[in-house]
């Protein structure tokens, strides 16, 4: 299978070097999310799980302690003890018709400076790279796979997003055991430059994935000019997503099995900027360079 297959065909995306594929999206999903609701069923006709009622507030629960973090206090490349690079599909091309080349250990695309991680997407060609697949843009996809993974917890990532038509930044998680979508995917935050004032969160499982993922969007008019704290609280009962302490979507464990709830197993974290593709859309070359700045990443879990 190639990256030319889309989720709207009902086909399963290929396996990545991260054990599970990237976001497998289409424009219909964005339309559904911007209306504040989830999809109407997957390609096989299975309906996604019902949404739980999102709590009004989303704050660090009592009894939780910090178990992992990166405050980005040491200038240079991202901490190699905490972050790995996903470059596995550069040659053949990434999913969703995305247009970027993901680099490895390259300061131009991923640099810690002034207490922040700066992920930069550039308009350039990596012609001398052995795995260059003809892409016109470079970016980076950082992940904690092989370094850290978690089952349940409170996740907090403070970031300022890039803007410009064709940008597609994301803060998200993938199941480390199994293939997509069966191992599950948790999109803490996604945004596209053609809708810069909206951010959305989505859950993908075997019972509802791609255009049928369950999720919701909110309006955030200064997402590209100000830092916001993107949050997720994941328990055995439900997963809630929010921004700056206010929840906008929750997904409930209805006890019907792993097709609907694969989230009793570990997931790893991913930070990236994709360019173009089925959801990112046409690219305005005048926007480059674009940057996502991350002030901190913190993971808390309930004290045992």
Q: What is the CATH number of the domain that holds 197?
A: 2.60.120.200
The answer to whether position 190 is within a domain reads yes
pTM for the structure as a whole: 0.86
User: Rounded to whole angstroms, how far apart are CA atoms 146 and 91?
Assistant: 23
State the pLDDT at residue 51: 58
State the pLDDT at residue 33: 40
The answer to whether position 14 is within a domain reads no
State the pLDDT at residue 25: 38
State the pLDDT at residue 211: 87
The answer to whether position 13 is within a domain reads no
The answer to whether position 110 is within a domain reads yes
**Residue 52 is inside which H or E element, if any?**
strand 51-52
Catalytic residue among 149, 190, 195, 293: 190
The answer to whether position 47 is within a domain reads no
Does 190 participate in catalysis according to the annotation?
A: yes
What does DSSP say about strands 116-123 and 290-302: parallel, antiparallel, or unpaired?
antiparallel
- The owner of tokens 């609701």 is 37
> DSSP assignment, residue 179?
-
The answer to whether position 133 is within a domain reads yes
Write out the chain's pLDDT in tens, 304 residues: 222 222 322 333 433 333 334 444 333 344 334 333 332 233 233 344 445 665 679 999 999 999 999 999 999 999 999 999 999 999 999 999 999 999 999 999 999 999 999 999 999 999 999 999 999 999 999 999 999 999 999 999 999 999 999 999 999 999 999 999 999 999 999 999 999 999 999 999 999 998 899 999 999 999 999 999 999 999 999 999 999 999 999 999 999 999 999 999 999 999 999 999 999 999 999 999 999 999 999 999 998 8
- The owner of tokens 């991260």 is 18
- The owner of tokens 């250990």 is 105
Is 71 in a helix, a strand, or coil? Answer: coil
Q: Are 198 and 264 in contact (CB under 8 A)?
A: no
What are the backbone angles phi and psi of residue 54, rounded to the nearest 5°? -70, 135
Cβ neighbourhood burial of 92 (10 Å; 0-12, 13-18, 19+) = exposed
Catalytic residue among 7, 149, 185, 195: 185
> How many structural domains compose the chain?
1
Domain that holds residue 144: 69-302
Smallest CA-to-CA distance from 29 within 18, 37, 21, 19 is with 37
State the pLDDT at residue 55: 60
State the pLDDT at residue 150: 98
State the pLDDT at residue 54: 56
The answer to whether position 16 is within a domain reads no
Does 195 participate in catalysis according to the annotation?
A: no
Q: Are 23 and 170 in contact (CB under 8 A)?
A: yes
Smallest CA-to-CA distance from 218 within 32, 29, 34 is with 34
State the pLDDT at residue 18: 38
User: Rounded to whole angstroms, how far apart are CA atoms 60 and 67?
Assistant: 13
The answer to whether position 278 is within a domain reads yes
Smallest CA-to-CA distance from 49 within 265, 204, 244 is with 204
């Amino acid at each position: 299978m190639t990256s030319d297959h889309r989720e709207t065909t009902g086909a399963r995306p290929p396996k990545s070097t991260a054990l599970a594929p990237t976001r497998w999206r289409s424009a219909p999903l964005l339309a559904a999310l911007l209306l504040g609701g989830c999809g109407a069923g997957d390609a096989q006709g299975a309906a996604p799980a019902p949404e739980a009622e999102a709590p009004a507030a989303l704050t660090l629960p009592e009894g939780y302690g910090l178990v992992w973090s990166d405050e980005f206090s040491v200038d240079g490349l991202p901490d190699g003890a905490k972050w790995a690079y996903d470059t596995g599909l550069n040659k053949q091309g990434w999913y969703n018709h995305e247009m970027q080349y993901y680099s490895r250990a390259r300061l131009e695309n991923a640099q810690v400076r002034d207490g922040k991680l700066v992920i930069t997407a550039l308009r350039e060609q990596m012609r001398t790279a052995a795995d260059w697949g003809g892409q016109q843009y470079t970016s980076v996809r950082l992940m904690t796979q092989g370094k850290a993974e978690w089952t349940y917890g409170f996740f907090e990532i403070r970031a300022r997003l890039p803007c410009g038509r064709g940008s597609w930044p994301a803060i998200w998680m993938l199941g480390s055991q199994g293939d997509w979508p069966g191992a599950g995917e948790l999109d803490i935050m996604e945004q596209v430059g053609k809708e810069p004032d909206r951010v959305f969160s989505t859950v993908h499982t075997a019972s509802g994935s791609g255009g049928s993922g369950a999720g919701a969007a909110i309006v955030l008019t200064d997402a590209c000019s100000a830092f916001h704290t993107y949050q997720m609280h994941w328990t055995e009962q439900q997963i809630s997503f929010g921004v700056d302490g206010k929840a906008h979507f929750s997904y409930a464990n209805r006890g019907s099995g792993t097709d609907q709830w694969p989230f009793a197993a570990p997931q790893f974290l991913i930070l990236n900027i994709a360019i173009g593709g089925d959801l990112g859309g046409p690219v305005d070359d005048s926007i480059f360079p674009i940057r996502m700045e991350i002030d901190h990443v913190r993971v808390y879990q309930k004290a045992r």
